[in-house]
Amino acid sequence: MRKVKKATALLAVTAMVITSFAGCGKSNNDAASTKTKDTSNDKKTVENISLKVWSPQDDQKEVGSYSEGVLKELCKKFDEAHPEWNIKFTFGICAEGDALKNLKKDPAAGADVFMYTTDQLAGLVEAGITNPLAPTAEATMNKTMDEQAVSAVKSGDKLYGFPYTANSWFLYYNKSMFSADEVKSLDTMMAKKFDKGVYNFAIDVDNAWYNSAFFFANGDKLFGDDGTDAKKCTFNDAKGVEAGNYLLDLYKTKKVFDITNNNEKKLFQQGKIAATCSGTWDAVTYKKALGENYAAAKLPTVKMGGKDLQLSNFKSYKVVGVNSQTKAPKAALALAEYLASDEAQQVRLDAQSIAPTSKAISGKLAKADPAVKAINEQLQYSTLQPSISQMNNFWTPAQALGAGIIDGSVTKDNMQAKLDKMVDGILKGIK
């Protein structure tokens, strides 16, 4: 295997403080990996350590030239770059969005290094599951990474982990069915006529991560201007009613396919759906499915109040974090930093079409996959997903609104009442 240069100096090893606490979850599907080093001529002592690493399944399945997935390949490269450690790796599957839930079950039994999304940051910090980086980390990371990404891993005046990609969504479309100009406007897309049984547009209507984009487009706010005021939500004002009615009319066209458990993928491949909403995690799948008709773009505009308004979706960031109860803090922190490094981000970009946070790599995206370019453009219009604890109250009420639109229980006559109920649920005290 190709040898790599030693990783760059750590941002925060000397300031990592390990604290003790209780609670967290074990991961199933663990697979152990280790290596043997020839230490007979070494003058320095080689430390034997174990590192458990959690990541989503996509990181651990075959993609491109990586038969065992990108995570194991990156860990091998890290191992080669650190002869001072003899590392036994154990890998577990854990989606970024499930990190907090699984770690809270039993932190001590959880992963040393894990991936999480920034909407879980407050919970991870409050539970003491992860520790802050060194005070100098922010200035260093701002030089190499997108500043919004760096800000997203900040709680108070401290940083927690290394952001490696944005977590958001955009538009995929079949360019034999829509032109690049047509996908600029959702109203234009919906006006186009296709054969019977063909849907113009697919979106997860009763998923708050998606339906909220229509409210943000019309100027509504969730938890104030900066997403930190747990007592404010304007989704039930006049603009919110207008956004809710737009969604209702959109679904009533019968040209919208409601996404549930990836049920749109086969239809998209068959040309039964002209455009769909998803993130870079589906880039490889859709590229293979659509071939030369594969295309992607930022989200379209929607016409509300006589104005063309840009859909503004949630964005968060995916982060490599370190468990505060790890028994190998120096190695765990070094690995976390490496998994978010320029080298690792380039591997993810090339193999998985995962958009980087690295400034150096972002500046070279002219030839990147359309999905990477699409998400980078959409991020300019996205709304940073709040990370305060009150965010836990948002999902179920907003999901219920979408479900009501689908089953017909939400109407224009009761839209105000339904939105009032939704906002009451969002702002209620956390149990």
**pLDDT for 198-210, tens place per residue?**
999 999 999 999 9
**Nearest Cα to 109, choosing from 30, 23, 48?**
23
Q: Are residue 133 and residue 206 in the same domain, yes or no?
A: no
- Which pLDDT value is given to residue 140? 87
Could you tell me the CA-to-CA distances from 46 to 37, 112, 395 in Å, in that order? 9, 20, 48
Instruction: State pTM to two decimals.
Output: 0.82
- Is a pLDDT exceeding 90 seen at residue 34? no
Q: Into how many domains does the chain fold? A: 2
Q: Are residue 122 and residue 204 in the same domain, yes or no?
A: no
How far apart CA 373 and CA 297 sit, in angstroms, is: 8
Q: Are residue 307 and residue 218 in the same domain, yes or no?
A: yes
Tell whether 19 is covered by a domain: no
Q: Are residue 111 and residue 252 in the same domain, yes or no?
A: no
Q: Are residue 246 and residue 342 in the same domain, yes or no?
A: no
Confidence of residue 4 (pLDDT cuts 50, 70, 90): very low
- Which pLDDT value is given to residue 279? 95
Residue ranges making up the domain that contains 95:
47-167+316-384
Q: Are residue 375 and residue 422 in the same domain, yes or no?
A: no
- Which pLDDT value is given to residue 37? 52
Q: What mean pLDDT is reported for the chain?
A: 89
How open is the CA angle 140-123-21, to the nearest 5 degrees?
95
Contact 421, 397 (CB under 8 A): yes
Q: Are residue 344 and residue 413 in the same domain, yes or no?
A: no
Residues 78-96 have a mean pLDDT of 97
- Which pLDDT value is given to residue 430? 57
Tell whether 52 is covered by a domain: yes
Examine the fold and report which residue of 384, 399, 419 is the final residue of a domain before the chain moves on: 384
Identity of the amino acid at 315: K
Tell whether 38 is covered by a domain: no
In the chain, what percentage of residues exceed pLDDT 70? 89
Could you tell me the CA-to-CA distances from 291 to 270, 279, 286, 299 in Å, in that order? 12, 18, 8, 21
Q: Are residue 301 and residue 334 in the same domain, yes or no?
A: no
- Which pLDDT value is given to residue 33? 44
**Domain with 281 in it: what CATH number?**
3.40.190.10
**Helices 329-339/70-80 angle, 10° precision:** 120
Tell whether 3 is covered by a domain: no
Tell whether 157 is covered by a domain: yes
Contact 92, 28 (CB under 8 A): yes
- Which pLDDT value is given to residue 366? 61
Q: Are residue 402 and residue 263 in the same domain, yes or no?
A: yes
Strands (E), 355-409: 383-384
Tell whether 252 is covered by a domain: yes
Q: Are residue 411 and residue 282 in the same domain, yes or no?
A: yes
Tell whether 397 is covered by a domain: yes
Tell whether 60 is covered by a domain: yes
Q: Are residue 58 and residue 89 in the same domain, yes or no?
A: yes
Contact 52, 25 (CB under 8 A): no
Q: What is the pLDDT of residues 102-128, one digit of tens each?
A: 999 999 999 999 999 998 998 999 999
Count other Cβ atoms within 10 Å, centred on residue 12: 21
Q: Are residue 129 and residue 89 in the same domain, yes or no?
A: yes
Residues 344-358 have a mean pLDDT of 93
